[in-house]
Chain A
Amino acid sequence: MSSISKNASADLEKSPESAKRRNDYKKLRRRNTLTFWSFVGPMALGLLVFVGIPIVWGIVLSFGNAQTTITPTKFVGLSNYIQVLSDPQFRSSMILVAIFAIIIVPLTLAFSLGLALLVNEVKFGRGFFRTVFFIPTACSYVVASAIWKMSLFNGTSSGFMNTILGWFGVEPIQWISASTPPWYWLVLVTVRLWLQVGLYMILFTAGLQDIPPEVYEAGRIDGIRNKFQELRYITLPLLKNTTISVSLLCLIGAFQAFDEFYNVLGSASGSGSGNLSLAMPPLVYLYNMAFSSQNYGVGSAGAFILTIVIVIFALLQGKLTGSKK
């Protein structure tokens, strides 16, 4: 629209009407600018205040001495970064969350794709099964953590899992409170799986429904004989985009894990102690650094290191899933 008026005003440069036209055009443009900002302004302002400023503030904090204050007092260069990187607790939190992501991403992919494929194969009760697998999304991490911690994986014989295992003569297992063997991994991984698998199943189902049936017919003509080959040569390659977006969403979520660690491993004696020392993800570390130790400078430096690691992992994974198929 604006380009048309621009050409018109150029063509009519020398005619007597040109001045008026150009004036009209300018007025229209000014009005459009005003209209645009009346629609977009609130959002732009909000992002500036609640995302833009925090990012800049975070950078300033990470290079400043900001203990017990959110306004850094002096520039300290890279010392916050050096301090956080030399803290063994921070390093082990980064290793922990990387392992967590490496476990949770493939499991989530396998289960959500598997459920989508299975439900797609049956004729009756599709809606019912989808609802059952999807309904955990209504639960919060806090609620799920309470169920997992207090009942499912309760360390005494009154726990649900220990009851089931007891039928086979297995002694009660201390799921959460013991560090060896590290059964708490099973607890943390299954909470997240239960909560998110249904969500990603929906994405895979949508991806499956986008594959036109003619493709399968063509495949049969080209010599695809069984369901397995169909999956291997048609379905999976055509789900590539869904797989990439699911694994990225899942990866970024895993690196920012907080709720289930805080609630499953936390204890009455405060979030910093208890079983959280067994497995503390970076976000819990940062939370403690900022709100228990009140060291906002070191906390912000840790946050930027975490971001860089997330970006690297996301790029790596993009490459991995992108080139495979």
Chain B
Amino acid sequence: MKNRHRISASRVVRQTLIYLLLIILAIIFLVPFYVMLRNALSTKAEVTSLDWVWFPKELQWQNFAEVFEDGSIFPQGLLNSAVISVIQIVLQLAISAAAGYGLARVPYRRRNLVFAAFLATMMVPTAVTFVPSFAVVSALGWVSTLAGIIVPGIFSVFSVFLFRQFFLDFPDELEEAGRLDGLGPWGVFFRIVLPNAKGITVALGAIGFINSWNAFLWPLVVGQDEHSWTVQVALSSYLNSYSVDFPVLFAAAVTSIIPLVILFFIFQRHIVEGVKMSGMK
């Protein structure tokens, strides 16, 4: 009796310590968000004040208005990022779902060879290809165009791999039923297979959107004039310019992460699923 009491006491101590540690870590992880919001809602003087101002005297919402003022680079950047991310995701999902289905389900003698060739390209790091990829894009006349940023990013072997994996386990009976109803291979794919692949599609779509929205190196390389800058490139160039206005910079930064934070809260389950799948690489 006494013994059991002692064990539960030590468990309480342990749990308390773990909670304490977790709370401290959580605060540390949230500090950057606090700093970003504080900067976005402060005056210039408060941000650069030699004493840290914990909370702005008055919330400076007009910093956000300045992000969208005439002559600001951010509205165009946000628009470009939205267009790029949405088109990239739609095309990427369409192309990789189809390819994954073909590789998993269409009996073709050399399909495993084709799949192996796809996988081989995954071994090549971006570092090797970004300069010659730029050469290809410039040969196509796509420098400083959204097409130049979008198109090279829509061929994701990783998505093909996961779609193939998913379609390998797809029940035969459902496809067979579709065939008996007179559907061709594409009919089966659109009417029967895709509607049953919503989970994986949303998961890959959400992960892809985050990557696409946050991409930096490739949009920086291709977007050589202001009109083709994504919001990341615009933020980076503003951050390292002489005329940087800190509160406006951070108001723009906050604006740039709002779509993703919303996405996170709506699709958190799917995003977590997508991340788990990405660990299987």
Interface residues of A, Cβ cutoff 8 Å to B: 1-2, 29, 32-33, 35-40, 42-44, 46-47, 49-55, 57-58, 61, 70, 115, 118-119, 121-123, 125, 129, 131-152, 156-160, 163, 194, 198-199, 202-203, 206, 242, 245-246, 249, 252, 255-256, 258-259, 262-263, 266-268, 271, 282-283, 286-287, 290-291, 296, 299-300, 303-304, 306-307, 310
CB contact between B272 and one of A39, A150, A202, A252 (< 8 Å): that residue: A202
Given contacts A39-B99, A133-B25, contact A55 B124 (CB under 8 A): yes
Contact A303 B136 (CB under 8 A): no
The yes or no answer to B79 lying at the interface (CB within 8 A) is no
- Taken together as a complex, chains A and B put the C-alpha atoms of A33 and B111 apart, in Å, by 9
B151 within 8 A of A: yes
B154 touching A46, Cβ below 8 Å: yes
Could you list which residues of chain B lie within 8 angstroms of chain A, going by C-beta atoms? 15, 18-19, 21-22, 25-26, 29-33, 35-36, 39, 47-52, 95-96, 98-99, 101-103, 106-109, 111, 114, 118, 121, 124-136, 138-139, 151-152, 154-155, 157, 160, 185-186, 189, 210, 213-214, 216-217, 221, 232, 235-236, 239-242, 244, 246, 249-250, 253, 256-257, 260-261, 263-264, 268, 272, 275-276, 279-281
Q: Which residue of A lies closest to B46 (CB)?
A: A158
Q: Is the CB of A55 within 8 A of B129?
A: yes
Name the distance in Å between A186's Cβ and chain B's nearest Cβ: 14
Complex: A42 Cα to B99 Cα, angstroms:
8
Contact of A144 among B18, B32, B96, B213 (CB under 8 A): B32
Chain B neighbourhood of A249, CB < 8 A? 279, 281
Contact status B239-A145, CB under 8 Å = yes
Bound-complex Cα distance A242 to B278 (A): 11
- CB of B268 within 8 A of CB of A131, answer yes
Residue of B nearest to A262 (CB): B236
Across the interface, which residues of A come within 8 angstroms of B250, CB to CB? 146-147, 150
Asked if B279 and A246 make an inter-chain contact with CB atoms under 8 angstroms apart, the answer reads yes
Query: Of B50, B108, B210, B221, which contacts A156 at CB under 8 A?
Result: B50
Q: How many residue pairs at the A-B interface have CB separations less than 8 Å?
A: 274
- With a CB–CB cut-off of 8 A, which chain A residues contact B133? 50, 54
Contact A268-B135, Cβ < 8 Å, known A146-B249, A246-B279, A255-B127: no
Known pairs A152-B35, A203-B275; A133 contacts B26 (CB<8 A)? yes
Contacting pair A138 B128 (CB below 8 A): no
A199 touches B275 (CB 8 A): yes
Contacts of A148 in B (CB 8 A): 32
Residues of A within 8 A of B35 (CB): 147, 151-152, 160
Point out the residues of chain B lying under 8 angstroms from A303, CB to CB.
127-131
Which residues of chain A are within 8 angstroms of B108 by Cβ–Cβ distance?
32-33, 35-36
Query: How far is B126's CA from A290's CA once the two chains are assembled, in angstroms?
Result: 15
B131 lies within 8 A of A286 (CB): yes
Q: Tell me the bound Cα distance from A275 to B201 in angstroms.
A: 43
Known: A144-B32, A157-B51, A242-B279. A115 touches B25 (CB 8 A): yes
Provide the bound-state CA to CA distance between A159 and B35, in Å. Answer: 10
8 closest A-B pairs by beta carbon, nearest first, are A39-B102, A43-B99, A46-B155, A140-B214, A36-B108, A54-B132, A163-B52, A70-B135
For A259, what are the chain B residues with a Cβ–Cβ distance below 8 Å? 216-217
24 residue pairs from A and B, CB less than 8 Å apart: A29-B109, A36-B106, A42-B98, A43-B99, A46-B151, A50-B133, A52-B121, A55-B124, A61-B132, A70-B132, A133-B29, A138-B210, A142-B236, A143-B36, A146-B253, A148-B32, A150-B239, A152-B31, A202-B272, A245-B280, A268-B242, A286-B127, A291-B221, A303-B130
Is there an interface contact between B136 and A50, defined as CB atoms closer than 8 Å? Answer: yes
Residue of A nearest to B242 (CB): A268
* CB-CB under 8 A for A258 and B138, given A42-B98, A133-B29, A303-B128: no
A296 and B235 alpha carbons, distance in the complex (Å): 27
> In the bound complex, do residue A122 and residue B22 qualify as a contact, i.e. CB atoms below 8 Å apart?
yes
A131 — which chain B residues lie within 8 A by C-beta? Answer: 268
Tell me which of A36, A198, A300 contacts B132 (CB under 8 A): A300
| B32 close to A296 (CB less than 8 A) | no
How close is A280's CB to chain B, nearest CB, in angstroms?
Answer: 14
Q: Which residues of B contact A266 (CB under 8 A)?
A: 236, 239-240
Residues of the B chain whose Cβ atoms lie less than 8 Å from the Cβ of A160: 31, 35, 52
Point out the residues of chain A lying under 8 angstroms from B132, CB to CB: 53-55, 57-58, 61, 70, 300
Chain A nearest CB from B152 CB (Å) reads 4
